[in-house]
Amino acid sequence: PKMDGITFLKKVMAVLPTPTVIVSSLTSRGSALALEALEAGAVDVVAKPGSDVASALPAMMRELVARVRSAARSKVFRRVATEAPGCEEAAAALGVTTDAVIGLGASTGGVAALGRILPRFPANSPGVVVVQHMPPGFTSGFAERLDELCPMRVSEAKDGDRILRGHVLVGPGGDRHLEVRRVGGEYRIALVEGPHVSGHTPSVDVFFQSLARSAGPNAAACLLTGMGRDGAEGLKALRAAGGRTFAQDEASSAVWGMPGAAVGIGAAEAVVDLADVPCALLRALERRTGLVARLGEAGGPSAKAHTESGAKGETQ
């Protein structure tokens, strides 16, 4: 009584963490409340029909049943504050080159996971691109919320966006896949219409495979918590192309489906705890570009100069 749903959810999660699926409208208020619930520990969200409810309701109920069944197999954690590992030195060394891309793919439990790790990337980190399975209409608010929390600048990705150091781009939910393409000396986003791949649009497999083609050894990626196998084959392709590849470990994953599938086919070079993901990715790229970093220290542009041109201030 006299308690809204979000407050109730937070109290339940603090005492008895319970897998929870949110049913939300696509209004701005509904989307904001759904995101707050996901941040509080809910594992998934299902969008209410926006129009023609009578014909759309059966499909929504089938999706809800599937999501609840998936949620029942997930793990929910009490939210505990932890000390963030220091990654500033690795990010500073990478500041002498913009020729690097970090990729993150996630599904069930991913909103909470991304909310934990993205704020740990220093402001001068290489450009980060995220594909998180979410209904259309939710990713814009998710990006805005992350922008408030992160040292890096966060926005929803648009077709043609340039991937810049100090920026995080979140792939929009809906009917378009996100690809990374090299245009001259730049990496840019391409949003491409197409059918589901690995059961999803946007698909993490499509995203990681594009990283393999366009960036190869200049990319590092991690497959985070999620149901199913989306992203496993793409991560394997990236590893074969010389990229650095990681998977979230089972203990810290809400659902060890996607990362577990990647480990099972040898797509991940290492399995890491969620809290260690930012440093693992940055240090992997630092080692890959170590020669460039040393040349920069010897006489090239300083990391500080690059930092001042990026991080919540650089324009596209």
8 Å CB contact between 97 and 289: yes
Q: Is 302 helix (H, G, I), strand (E, B) or coil?
A: coil
User: Among the options 205, 230, 249, 276, which is catalytic?
Assistant: 230
Amino acid at 219: A
Residue with tokens 């041109």, as numbered in its chain: 309
Task: State the pairing for strand pair 153-156/167-170.
Answer: parallel
Would you call 74 a catalytic residue per the annotation?
Answer: no
For 85, 227, 307, the CA distances from 68, given in Å and listed in that order, are 34, 12, 44
Q: How far is CA 182 from CA 77, 104, 231, 283, in A?
A: 39, 18, 21, 23
Residue 51 and residue 197 in one domain: no
Tell me, yes or no, whether 187 lies in a domain.
yes
Catalytic residue among 133, 167, 177, 306: 133
- CB contact at 8 A, 175 and 125: no
Q: Which of 228, 104, 138, 125 is nearest to 167 (CA)?
A: 125
Residue 209 maps to a domain: yes
pLDDT of residue 52: 77
Domain-located, residue 87: no
* Whether 183 and 229 share a structural domain: yes
DSSP string, 286-299: HHHTHHHHHHHHHT
In a domain, 84, yes or no: no
What total number of domains does the chain contain? Answer: 2
- Looking at the structure, tell me whether residues 137 and 247 fall in a common domain: yes
Asked whether residue 45 falls in the same domain as residue 138, the answer is: no
What confidence score (pLDDT) does residue 221 get?
A: 98
CATH number at residue 143: 3.40.50.180
User: pLDDT, tens digit, for every residue of 175-221?
Assistant: 999 999 999 889 999 999 999 999 999 999 999 999 999 999 999 99
Shared-domain flag, residues 119 and 19: no
Q: Which residues of the chain have pLDDT under 70?
A: 1-2, 26-31, 77-86, 88-98, 289-316
* 239 occurs within a structural domain: yes
pLDDT in the model for residue 110: 94
In a domain? residue 14: yes
Give this prediction's pTM: 0.79
198 tagged catalytic: no
Per-residue pLDDT, 83:
53
Query: Does a structural domain hold residue 83?
Result: no
CA distances from 275 to 12, 225, 243, 272 (A): 24, 13, 21, 8
What is the C-alpha to C-alpha distance for residues 255 and 252, in angstroms, rounded to an integer? 9
Q: Select which of 31, 107, 198, 214 is catalytic.
A: 107
**127 contacts 159 by C-beta, under 8 angstroms:** no
> Do 178 and 245 fall into the same domain?
yes
In a domain, 78, yes or no: no
Q: The domain that contains 19 carries what CATH number?
A: 3.40.50.2300
Do both 155 and 45 map to the same domain?
Answer: no
Host domain of residue 283? 97-309
- Residue 98, pLDDT score: 52
Q: What is the pLDDT of residue 86?
A: 61
Known catalytic residue at 107: yes
Q: Are residues 53 and 152 in the same domain?
A: no
Burial 161-185 (b: 16+ CB within 10 A, else e): bbbbbbbbbbbbbbebbbbbbbeee
Cβ atoms of 237 and 243 closer than 8 Å: no
User: Which is it for the CA torsion 94, 98, 99, 102, positive or negative?
Assistant: positive
Residues 102 and 60 in one domain: no
Q: Kindly state whether residues 192 and 297 are assigned to the same domain.
A: yes
Whole-number pLDDT of residue 302: 32
CA atoms lying within 13 Å on the CB side of residue 120: 22
Residue 125 sits in the same domain as residue 190: yes
Q: Judge if 178 and 33 occupy the same domain.
A: no
